[in-house]
């Protein structure tokens, strides 16, 4: 199984859509062999690629999103600034605190 860093390096190096599809299929196959359904394995791999792409430059992240037809699991196809991410975290924390007070 390739690491997320290896996958993103392949993206940065310029893999084709066909190569990305084959890579995804291989990753999914390995997870299915561990007991997950193909649907769950695909969701997991795409979510992880989308999340990890968020650590890369916008151009590389967008390539990964396009090649794998995925997005970051929290902010989608946006590329928020660190300040925006911080504000999103504060809002999430506030909502979580409010929900916990209701229970």
* Every domain of the chain and the residues it spans: 4-76
Q: How far is CA 85 from the centre of its chain?
A: 16
Q: Compute the distance between CA of residue 49 and CA of residue 37 in angstroms, rounded to an integer.
A: 18
Q: Compute the distance between CA of residue 4 and CA of residue 70 in angstroms, rounded to an integer.
A: 14
Alpha carbon distances (Å) from 50 to 30, 36, 84, 92, 95: 19, 20, 18, 20, 24
Identify the pLDDT of residue 45. 98
Structure tokens at 49: 């690629």
| 39-97 confidence digits (pLDDT tens) | 999 999 999 999 999 999 999 999 999 999 999 998 899 999 989 999 988 998 999 98
| 77-86 confidence digits (pLDDT tens) | 999 998 999 9
Q: Compute the distance between CA of residue 65 and CA of residue 52 in angstroms, rounded to an integer.
A: 11
């Amino acid at each position: 199984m390739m690491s997320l860093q290896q996958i993103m390096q392949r993206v940065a190096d310029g893999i084709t859509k066909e190569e990305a599809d084959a890579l995804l299929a291989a990753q999914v196959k390995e997870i299915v062999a561990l007991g997950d359904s193909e649907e769950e394995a695909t969701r997991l791999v795409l979510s992880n690629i989308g999340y990890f792409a968020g650590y890369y430059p916008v151009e590389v992240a967008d390539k990964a999103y396009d090649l794998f037809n995925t997005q970051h699991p929290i902010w989608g196809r946006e590329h928020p600034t660190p300040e925006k991410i911080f504000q999103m975290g504060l809002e999430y924390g506030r909502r979580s605190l409010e929900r916990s007070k209701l229970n």
